[in-house]
Each structure stands twice: as C-alpha cells, then as structure tokens.
Amino acid sequence: MLDKISALPELRLPLNDDPQQSYTLPSAYYTDPALFDLEKELIFYRTWQYICHVAEVPDSGDYLTMRICDQNIFVMRGEDGGLRAFYNVCRHRAHELLQGAGKVKNVITCPYHAWTYEKDGALRGAPNSDKRPEFCKANFGLRQVRLEEFLGCVFVNLDDNAVSLNEQASDLAADIRQRVPFIDDLRPVPGRFVDPNINAGWKVVVDNYVECYHCSHAHPAFASMICLDTYRLDTFGLWSRQLGDDIRPENDAYPVDPDGAQFSAFWFLWPNMTFNVLPGGNDLTALAVRPVCHDKSLFEGTTLSADGKTHPERRKYGNTVLGPEDTALCESVQRGLMSKGYDQGPIIVDPDRDGIGEKAIHHFHRLVHSALAAAG
C-alpha cells in the first residue's frame, strides 16, 4: 500500500517552526486519493479513535459498532463487566457480525454460517468443525483491539504497540477536568449526533474547527454571543484549545441559561477528536471527524449532559445555523483546493489576539506532515 505514493507532495513554501513564517499544506494533501490511503495506514490505524461514552454500553452484551476508515470495530460489555473491542468480522469467512448498536443476550452469532462467539471473543461453536482434523477453537477467537477509557469515553487503537492515550494526553485530561467541573456527572443524551455526508475531507473539517479567524465574518451569531476580543487559543503536544470566557447572555444565537456554563471551550485531540462546551448548559459534546474518503467526511459522536437537560434552543442553533455555516465553508474549500489557482496559503497569526489566528492550523499541519513523513 505504501508504494502507491513514492513521495509526499512538495512543500514549495515552508512549513516550519514559526507560524508567522509558515504556510499551509499543499492542495495535494487534500485532493490525492493515494495520499488518503497513506493516512489510513499511518494516522488512523495508529492513533486513538473515539467510539462512545462508557454509559452507552452499560450492561453485559451491550455493544456499539464503529467504522474506522475501512476497519469495522465493535465494543461490547462482557459478562465480567469489562469492556472489550474486537474487529467486527467472523474468523471463518469474514462476514460482519454485528450492525449498529444493540444487545447480545447469549452469544454473538455470525449470520453467514452460524459460528458463535462468547462476549469475551472466544469461539464457542463452529458447525461441523469437529469433522476437521485437529481443529482448535482457541485458534479462532475474535481478534481483539486495544481499548482505553479516557474522561469516561471509550477509545480504541488498531496499533498494538501504541502509547497509552492516558499517557499521551494526560495534560488534556487534567485541563478538561479543571475547566468542566461536571465532567464525572455526564451521561449520554438519547440519540447519537451524526452530521453525515460532508463533501469535504477530514483535514478540511479539522482546519475549520481549530481556528476562529473566520468566526466574526462567517459566524455572526456566534460572535455576538462570545466576545472574540478576549478569545484565546493555545497549542500543546497532541492537542489544542480555544477558550471564550466573555459571554453575552443576550445575543443573536440563543439565550444563555444563567444556570449553565458561562464559557465556551473547544478542545481538539489529534488526529480527529473534539470535546466541546457551549455556554448555557452543563453538558459537553464528544465528536469525531470521521473520514469517508479523501474528499468526504462526517461529524459523529455523543451529546453528554450532567443535568439531563437538552436545551432545545441551543441545539437548534447548532443544527440549523452553526453546523450548516461550517459545512458550507468546508465544502467550498474542498472544491477550491482543486483549482489550478491555489496550492498553499500563508498562516495568519496575530500575537495580540491569538484566539482569532491560525496558530492551531499550523500545529495540526505539522502533526499531519510528521505522521506521513514516516512513509519516506
């Protein structure tokens, strides 16, 4: 697979240490399907990927499936109360075992040839396998995937040798815990959030997420609620953070509930995970940017609430105003990246108002380039 692209696209303009002297990744990073194949292997199959909140699989047999690019995974609560993750494929003839989310009462049964598996992945039965000489059930259990719990959320990693997420991002966990005092009280709001079929690649969506340079012009209602003059942006090893502490309760987005959080916070965790707090509620959304192909993606995840409230006006603003605004921006950029009139653009950073600059795009692009450089 790695032979599909002999070298990374040329950095005609530098991507260096200083954001003010740096430029974006070249267009080919966003438009080359062969490079996306490289990203699957070197980024998505080697990093921690969000699946769900632990409370979404509370009891024995509860499961949830998730596709990480070409790899179908499921997480299941075992008889012993432990959470495990497996490749969602029968060890006989590769039929997918489970769909969506649900509950397995007794055993996992393959719909094709009725091979059955215990909730811990062990093969229980394989019809007529006793007729095969020296057939050993222990050799055909489901292949397990590494799983970790992080801030009450379930993450998996297809790389057996990956560094623990809690080790990689302990500073992020500490920062979120400090700023979100209700973090341990969060429980899923019914109905997972899915923004499907965004006609823009995952990197375009992340680029848009990690900067607020566009906010005052492209999100006027957002800018009326969160004062951008004091907005802050910081970058760290594998994550970045945007903070808005100056909130206007009366604004053009929605009325801010005085009993909820009086700040906004948006955390990005490499390569595609976000944690989000909007003013006015004691809740948080845990959303991942899921790549579909080189020029398509989706936002998918969980809304978590500490008080059980759903805040319909705020949800309406996110679903009908803020989300569509961002989707339109990203889709226009993806189309524009195909233009012969563009290749790289300058990173814009204002040292006096870093919250509305592109410092975190620079940070993200360097992570992307570093990960893909392993192919060379």
Task: For residue 310, name the pLDDT band (cuts at 50, 70, 90).
Answer: confident
For residues 92-101, average pLDDT: 97
Three-class SS of 300-361: EEEEEECCCCCCHHHHHHHHHHHHHHHHHHHHHHHHHCCCCCCCCCECCCCCCCHHHCCHHH
Contact 85, 156 (CB under 8 A): yes
Q: 74 or 9, which is more confident? A: 74
What is the rounded distance in angstroms from the CA atom of residue 264 to the CA atom of residue 316?
A: 17
pLDDT at position 4 over 60: no
Share of the chain above pLDDT 90, in %: 90
Contact 162, 47 (CB under 8 A): yes
For residues 74-97, average pLDDT: 98
Task: For residue 354, name the pLDDT band (cuts at 50, 70, 90).
Answer: confident
**For position 351, what pLDDT does the model report?**
85
pLDDT at position 352 over 90: no
Burial track 96-107 (b if 16+ CB lie within 10 A, e otherwise): ebbeebeebeee
Task: For residue 2, name the pLDDT band (cuts at 50, 70, 90).
Answer: very low
Q: Per residue in 124-152, pLDDT tens?
A: 999 999 999 999 999 999 999 999 999 99
* Phi then psi dihedrals of residue 308, to 5 deg: 80, -5
Task: For residue 1, name the pLDDT band (cuts at 50, 70, 90).
Answer: very low
For residues 234-258, average pLDDT: 97
Instruction: Find, among 227, 209, 247, 230, the residue nearest to 353 by Cα.
Output: 230
Contact 299, 287 (CB under 8 A): yes
**For position 190, what pLDDT does the model report?**
87
Cis omega before residue 271 (within 30°)?
yes
What is the rounded distance in angstroms from the CA atom of residue 283 to the CA atom of residue 182?
A: 8
List, in order of start, the domains of the chain with CATH numbers.
Answer: 13-45+170-375 (3.90.380.10), 49-157 (2.102.10.10)
What is the rounded distance in angstroms from the CA atom of residue 212 to the CA atom of residue 358?
A: 8
For residues 179-206, average pLDDT: 93
What is the rounded distance in angstroms from the CA atom of residue 240 to the CA atom of residue 222?
A: 20
pLDDT at position 359 over 70: yes
pLDDT at position 5 over 70: no
Q: 312 or 153, which is more confident? A: 153
DSSP one-letter code for 44: I
What is the rounded distance in angstroms from the CA atom of residue 206 to the CA atom of residue 364?
A: 8
Q: Per residue in 45-54, pLDDT tens?
A: 999 999 999 9
What is the rounded distance in angstroms from the CA atom of residue 331 to the CA atom of residue 199?
A: 5
What is the rounded distance in angstroms from the CA atom of residue 285 to the CA atom of residue 221?
A: 20
Task: For residue 106, name the pLDDT band (cuts at 50, 70, 90).
Answer: very high
Q: Per residue in 17-60, pLDDT tens?
A: 999 999 999 999 999 999 999 999 999 999 999 999 999 999 99
How many CB atoms within 10 Å of residue 143?
A: 11
- pTM of the predicted protein model: 0.95
**For position 364, what pLDDT does the model report?**
98
From residue 164, alpha-carbon distances to 1, 46, 167, 172, 368 in Å are: 27, 12, 5, 13, 20
